[in-house]
Every structure is written in C-alpha cells, then in structure tokens.
C-alpha cells in the first residue's frame, strides 16, 4: 500500500494529465471512478494500472479488490485527480485497448460522429445489454473520456471497440452491410433483418451526412406513431438496437 | 422593446429566483432557453411571460417571435439569468401548467421517483414521440427545472403532465391499470397489451419499491438477449414505451 500526500508527486501529475485527450493518448490510459464502474471494467478483463482510494475507504477497497495494490491519497488529492462532481473516493486507471483486428469485426453498431459523451456511453451500455459484439466509433467524442466511461457504467470493456474513420470503415467492413438509421423514409426496421450487419447511428443534431447514408447498403427507420424527429439520439439508437439485435425471439 | 441593464432590477432578481424550486413554486413560472426549446413550447401552447435576448440577437428574435415583446439584456445579465453552460443568448419565461383534471388522465407513463433530470426530460420527449397522452410524475426531480425542460427539447408542453404522490395516483387512476416495468421476471411486454394503462418506470438506481410494484396490476419486462440490469433507466423506459405505445401497427 502506497501513500501519496503531495500534489507535486509525478504520479498525481500523470493522473491529472489523463483528464485531457492528449494525456490519454500519450499514456494510453484512462480513468474510471466508483465501485461499480471499476469492478465492471475488471470483470471485462481490462488491464488495470492503479487504484487510488481515500483512507476511510481502504477496508472496503481491500475487500473489493482483494490482493491488488492500493494507493492512498488525501481527500484534497482525490478531488484533484477525480473528474466527478462528487468524487466517490475510489478511482482507477486502466490501459486503453488497441483496436481489435479488422477481420474480427462482428455485427453491431457504428456510432458516427456522436458528440455527446452521455449519448455515446449510453449507446455502448445498451449495446452490451443487447448482446452486441462490436461497436465502431467514427469520429465524434473520445470513448475513453471520463463522461463516456462513466455513462457506460464500465461496460465499455465488454464490446469490441473500434475507432476508425468512415472511409477506413468502408474499406475494412468487408462483406458486412451498413444500415443507416434515419428518422423517416427508410425501410421499416421491424421488417428488416439487419442483425448480421452494422447499424449506423448519426450525430445528435445533424444526423448522418447524406454522403455517408448513400454509402450504406440500406436505410432503416423506426416505425412510430408520434413524431420521429423528437427522439434523443441515444434513445433512437437504443430502440433500433433493441429491434435489430436485442429482442429475444 | 424593453432594455434592462442592471443586475439590481427586480425582474432580474425574479428570473434568478426561478433557478430554484422554491422560486418556481412561488411564481409558478419556469425558464426555457434556446430557439428550438422556446418555439417548441410556444407550439405546445404554453403561456409565455417574457422573452429575453442579447442585443445582437434582436433581429433574429423579432423574426422568430413576431409581435411578442422582447426584453434586451446585456451579455453579463444573460449569463446571470441563464442556467446553460454556454448561454445561447435567448431565454424565455413560461407559466407552469396546473395539473389537468384527474378524470382526464389518459394512458401513458408514470415516472416514479426518477431523480436524474436528463432521464426525466428524455422520457418525456420519448413519450411525445410515441404519441403518449399522459405523463405522471411521482416524486423525483422537479419537471419544471432547467435541465428537465431542456432535455425535453420543449416537448414538455405536449403531454398532460400530472404531479402527484403514489397513493394519490392509486386513488385517482380509476379503472386504468398500472404496469410495473421491472428488469427481469415480469410478463413479456411484447406480449402484453398495456397501451390502455399506465406504464410505471422506477428510479435509476433503486428501481420501483417492492410495495409499489405489488400495487400494480401487472409486472412487465423487456425481453432481451443480453443483460437487462445494464440498461440506463431512460433507455429501458423508452424501449418499453416504444413496445407498449409507440410502434406503428
């Protein structure tokens, strides 16, 4: 058990650098906070680099994390390294996973230019709940940022996560079909068998660029009684994921 | 067109008081921000009390709001009255609607003790997209708070919104059935005709209290291939709303 008391400690500086995309890229690490998120990441076989707890939580941390090494930090330092509004007092650093091999890409979701971290995290969490194997991140927000990781509740470890560009995806997807989810005018998703392909969910405000939608094999739409344009992106994507992949036969 | 330059102006003080539940209750008013949210509220026939814009946006505001009176405020005052992280420069005050008559309660959703404003707002927005008539708020967060109103994207005006207690709901619901949405073990919602009743969605972290679930006529569950426990509350509620109410025949 280590104990860090000073904000000048290089380890603390490195942790704070992980708050920014540049620091995460440099160290290939990201931060996760709270018991549930951390234990879910561990259950997903993410490789852990360190666990930081405040003194009062040491017994609980020893119980939860068994023989893993803990680093004790003061409450003031925890506030410094945490990105939560109210730090839970337990924080861990994990190594990012590299992109899996392109030929291992399964059926699943493409999050195309999703900019809100809460939406991205929620969609990843939904993918896991729907037994979806693959999530492809095309541009948009950083999936390893604090808000995304927390919104996945740690389930980010449980999908094959690709980060790529749209054009790279077109090259690597092979025979797998792309299904563009659009608010209106596409084929009824209830009547389209798309669970062997990749369902493409576009940006919250702007949807999918026309050019990208044109490059998909099919356009699909959720058949709804009300007004389709007033669904939040994470909701639309999740309902589509449920219909296409998640519903039990 | 009025012009307010001073933070000591009583109107500014009243606007700031609307940031808190107490101020909203006292004045029976709430704040909405941004063009889309405000115009959607107006389209939903909410009664407006005032529109506040920064000087640079006056032409756009005159174009958008036609003959309605505008109040010009400085950028500094806009930052003071706004609750947005990045104020859009246009803000409006609307009168809250009172509860509609209990005997007008239609089929719809019950949001039981939802504590996250984003989840509550998203669920209301989903309800509107699914053509759901009635949303009953039982405890939980204030539906007229900034974050809820913004997360509805202004659609909060388009449902009959009731605020009540659980026991009051049991008394006033009449013959209408309550369907408790639970993560596992309920009747398959795909095979349950519940669109004549009220679908009850519980708290994000704690779900529905057992006692409340017992008092519902039926328990329903979303049939899923993956792990049900890892869905976000707004996602679970939205998928259930889609299955029960929203899907076009």
Kindly give the pairing relationship between strand B29-33 and strand A178-181. unpaired
**A100 contacts chain B (CB < 8 A):** no
Name residue A160's beta-bridge partners: A134
Among candidate residues A94, A102, A119, A143, the one with its CA nearest the CA of residue A205: A119
Name residue A201's beta-bridge partners: A111
Averaged pLDDT of chain B: 94
Is CATH 3.40.50.1820 correct for B102-246? no
pLDDT of res. B7: 85
**B87 contacts chain A (CB < 8 A):** no
pLDDT of res. B228: 58
**A1 contacts chain B (CB < 8 A):** no
**A107 contacts chain B (CB < 8 A):** no
Is residue A65's pLDDT more than 60?
yes
**A125 contacts chain B (CB < 8 A):** yes
pLDDT of res. A1: 83
**Contact between A204 and A114 (Cβ < 8 Å):** yes
- With beta carbons under 8 A apart, name residues in chain B contacting A186: none
> What mean pLDDT is predicted for residues A228-234?
80
Is residue B241's pLDDT more than 80?
yes
> What mean pLDDT is predicted for residues B200-224?
95
pLDDT of res. B97: 93
- End-to-end CA distance of chain A: give it in Å, rounded: 50
* Percentage of chain A lying above the pLDDT 70 cut: 98
**B39 contacts chain A (CB < 8 A):** no
Indicate the domain borders of chain B.
2-95, 102-246
Q: Closest CB to A122: pick one of B126, B153, B232.
A: B232
pLDDT in tens, A131-190: 999 999 999 999 999 999 999 999 999 999 999 999 999 999 999 999 999 999 999 999
pLDDT in tens, B64-73: 999 999 999 9
pLDDT of res. A7: 84
pLDDT in tens, B46-90: 999 999 999 999 999 999 999 999 999 999 999 999 999 999 999
**A122 contacts chain B (CB < 8 A):** yes
pLDDT in tens, B101-127: 988 899 999 999 999 999 999 999 999
Contacts of residue B4, Cβ cutoff 8 Å, sequence gap at least 6: B11, B12, B52, B71, B72, B73, B77
Is residue A40's pLDDT more than 60?
yes
Please check whether the two domains, A2-95 and A102-246, share a CATH topology: no
Is residue A89's pLDDT more than 70?
yes
> What mean pLDDT is predicted for residues A211-231?
88
Q: What is the CATH T-level fold of the domain A2-95, as seen in this structure?
A: 60s Ribosomal Protein L30; Chain: A; (3.30.1330)
Give dist(CA A48, CA A221) in Å, integer. Answer: 40
Confidence tier at B227 by pLDDT (50, 70, 90): low
Is residue B249's pLDDT more than 80?
no
Confidence tier at A5 by pLDDT (50, 70, 90): confident
Is residue B175's pLDDT more than 80?
yes
Confidence tier at B5 by pLDDT (50, 70, 90): confident
**B144 contacts chain A (CB < 8 A):** no
pLDDT of res. A66: 93
> In chain B, whose CA is at the least distance from the CA of A132?
B226
pLDDT of res. A226: 76
Here the tokens at position B230 are 């890892």
Averaged pLDDT of chain A: 94
Here the tokens at position A229 are 């344009």
> What mean pLDDT is predicted for residues B15-35?
97
pLDDT of res. B103: 86
- With beta carbons under 8 A apart, name residues in chain B contacting A128: 226-227, 230
Q: Closest CB to A248: pick one of B153, B155, B223.
A: B223
Instruction: State phi, psi for A142 to the nearest 5 degrees.
Output: -75, 120
Here the tokens at position A174 are 């092979």
pLDDT in tens, A93-148: 999 999 999 888 999 999 999 999 999 999 999 999 999 999 999 999 999 999 99
Is residue B224's pLDDT more than 90?
no
For chain B, give the number of residues.
249
With vertex at residue A226, the alpha carbon angle to CA A128 and CA A111, rounded to the nearest 5 degrees, is 30
Q: Closest CB to A231: pick one of B129, B230, B231.
A: B129
> What mean pLDDT is predicted for residues B183-188?
93
pLDDT of res. B152: 95
- With beta carbons under 8 A apart, name residues in chain B contacting A125: 230-232, 235
Confidence tier at A12 by pLDDT (50, 70, 90): very high
- With beta carbons under 8 A apart, name residues in chain B contacting A190: 247
| Three-class secondary structure of residue B3 per DSSP | strand
* Percentage of chain B lying above the pLDDT 70 cut: 98
| C-alpha pair distances (Å), A51 with each of A35, A81, A92, B143 | 11, 12, 4, 38
pLDDT of res. A76: 93
Among candidate residues B82, B97, B55, the one with its CA nearest the CA of residue B147: B82
**Contact between A199 and A241 (Cβ < 8 Å):** yes
- What is the radius of gyration, based on Cα positions, of chain B? 20
Hey, which bits of chain A come out as E strands?
A: 2-4, 29-33, 48-54, 70-73, 90-95, 108-112, 134-138, 160-164, 178-181, 187-188, 198-201, 218-221
The ipTM assigned to this model is 0.88
Query: How many beta-carbon contacts under 8 Å exist across A and B?
Result: 99
Please, what's the largest Cα pairwise distance for chain A? 60
Contacts of residue B236, Cβ cutoff 8 Å, sequence gap at least 6: B181, B183, B201, B222, B228
Is residue A224's pLDDT more than 90?
no
Is residue A249's pLDDT more than 60?
no
- With beta carbons under 8 A apart, name residues in chain B contacting A122: 232, 234-235
């Amino acid at each position: 058990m280590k104990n860090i008391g000073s904000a000048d400690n290089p380890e603390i500086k490195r942790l704070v650098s992980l708050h920014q995309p540049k620091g995460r890229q440099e160290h290939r690490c990201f931060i996760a906070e709270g018991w549930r998120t951390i234990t879910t990441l561990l259950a997903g076989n993410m490789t852990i680099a360190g666990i930081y707890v405040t003194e009062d939580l040491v017994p609980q941390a020893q119980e939860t994390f068994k023989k893993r090494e803990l680093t004790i930090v003061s409450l003031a330092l925890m506030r410094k390294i945490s990105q939560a509004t109210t730090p839970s007092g337990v924080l861990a650093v994990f190594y990012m996973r590299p992109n899996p091999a392109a030929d291992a890409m399964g059926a699943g979701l493409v999050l195309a230019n999703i900019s809100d971290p809460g939406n991205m995290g929620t969609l990843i969490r939904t993918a896991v709940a729907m037994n979806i194997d693959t999530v492809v991140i095309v541009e948009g927000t950083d999936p390893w940022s604090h808000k995304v990781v927390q919104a996945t509740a740690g389930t980010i470890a449980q999908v094959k996560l690709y980060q790529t560009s749209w054009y790279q995806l077109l090259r690597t997807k092979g025979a797998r079909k792309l299904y563009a989810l659009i608010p209106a005018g596409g084929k009824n998703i209830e009547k389209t068998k798309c669970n062997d392909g990749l369902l493409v969910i576009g940006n919250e405000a702007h949807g999918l660029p026309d050019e990208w939608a044109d490059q998909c094999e099919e356009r699909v739409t959720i058949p709804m009684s009300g007004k389709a344009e007033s669904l939040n992106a994470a909701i639309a994507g999740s309902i589509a994921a449920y219909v296409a992949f998640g519903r039990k036969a």
